[in-house]
């Protein structure tokens, strides 16, 4: 799959850059200036190819967590585009290239769009997400959420470091935004997630309908991402878990599915 434009509001666009087997690297572009901020650039070749093909220039990097498929391309991108570029990421120090550490409540200027930082531990203990609310600047209700490996379409990240309680709380923090919030997660896991959801909750009509829809999308070679909070509220077992005990039960079932 080649890179694709997934959203556009006024002068700003979001592009998906496929990488590896199932990763999505996200590019936030200010079209008039051709400036591009990339989220979780695990593969430098994929990002640089996107930049060169569109004549965009890299203006910054946002990192959600330290796993190699999210940060492995940073060194090469800095070498090719300038070592003084801002690299935003968790303040834990686990990503050596981060020169602008951020924490809960910080607000970043991304091409005059304000990106709010949320701490969402679970997948890792220092995982963060970036949320851009466009309402005030553009008289629009659009919200863009870059949540790494915390929330997936139909699923959530594995608990490599955090606890069920942490992940449950993180998902509910992400779930506070409007229904039309676009979720730019980092992996194309939707089809397998919906197969699990259908098996775990066979009586759910909304899950069944979502699984059928996703299968058709993938058969056509298209991306299921971005999803929206509206879709996830109807079909994502994890975000709908009532408490951390229920969440843990679902997560353990998925891990052994």
Per-10-residue mean pLDDT of the chain, 257 residues long, equals: 88 96 97 97 98 97 98 98 96 97 96 95 98 70 94 98 98 97 98 98 96 97 97 98 98 97
Contacts of 21 (CB under 8 A, 6+ apart): none
Q: Reply yes or no on whether 57 is catalytic.
A: no
Question: Closest Cα to residue 27, out of 10, 137, 54, 1?
Answer: 54
Q: Is the preceding peptide bond at 18 cis, omega within 30 degrees of 0? A: no
Q: Reply yes or no on whether 111 is catalytic.
A: no
Q: Reply yes or no on whether 149 is catalytic.
A: yes
Placement of tokens 């303040």 in the chain: 91
Q: Reply yes or no on whether 69 is catalytic.
A: yes
Instruction: Check: CB of residue 238 under 8 Å from CB of residue 157.
Output: no
- Residue 75 CA to its chain's centroid (Å): 21
State the pLDDT at residue 139.
52
Q: Reply yes or no on whether 65 is catalytic.
A: yes
State the pLDDT at residue 135.
64
The total of other beta-carbon atoms located within 10 Å of residue 80's CB is 14
Q: What is the pTM of this model?
A: 0.96
The catalytic position among 66, 70, 111, 127 is 70
CA distance 35 to 15: 13
Q: Reply yes or no on whether 67 is catalytic.
A: yes
CA distance 141 to 134: 6
CA distance 246 to 201: 13
pLDDT tens digit string along 83-104?
999 999 999 999 999 999 999 9
State the pLDDT at residue 138.
52
The catalytic position among 40, 69, 126, 142 is 69
The catalytic position among 111, 126, 149, 168 is 149
CA distance 12 to 162: 34
Q: Reply yes or no on whether 168 is catalytic.
A: no
């Amino acid at each position: 799959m080649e890179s694709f434009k997934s959203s556009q509001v006024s002068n700003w666009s979001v592009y998906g850059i496929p990488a590896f087997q199932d990763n999505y690297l996200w590019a936030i572009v200010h079209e008039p200036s051709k400036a591009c901020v990339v989220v979780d650039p695990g593969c430098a070749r994929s990002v640089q190819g996107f930049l060169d093909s569109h004549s965009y220039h890299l203006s910054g990097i946002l990192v959600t967590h330290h796993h190699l498929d999210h940060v492995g391309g940073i060194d090469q991108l800095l070498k090719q585009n300038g070592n003084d570029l801002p690299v935003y990421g968790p303040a834990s120090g686990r990503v050596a290239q981060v020169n602008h550490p951020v924490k809960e409540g910080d607000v970043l200027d991304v091409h005059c769009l304000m990106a709010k930082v949320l701490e969402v531990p679970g997948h890792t203990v220092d995982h963060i997400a970036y949320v851009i609310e466009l309402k005030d600047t553009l008289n629009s209700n659009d919200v863009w959420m870059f949540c790494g490996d915390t929330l997936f379409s139909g699923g959530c990240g594995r608990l490599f470091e955090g606890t069920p309680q942490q992940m449950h709380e993180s998902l509910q923090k992400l779930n506070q935004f409007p229904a039309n919030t676009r979720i730019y997660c980092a992996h194309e896991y939707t089809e397998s997630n919906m197969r699990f959801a259908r098996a775990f909750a066979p009586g759910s009509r909304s899950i069944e309908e979502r699984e059928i829809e996703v299968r058709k999308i993938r058969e056509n070679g298209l991306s299921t991402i971005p999803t929206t909070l509206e879709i996830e509220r109807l079909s994502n077992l994890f975000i709908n878990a009532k408490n951390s005990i229920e969440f843990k039960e679902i997560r353990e079932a998925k891990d052994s599915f």
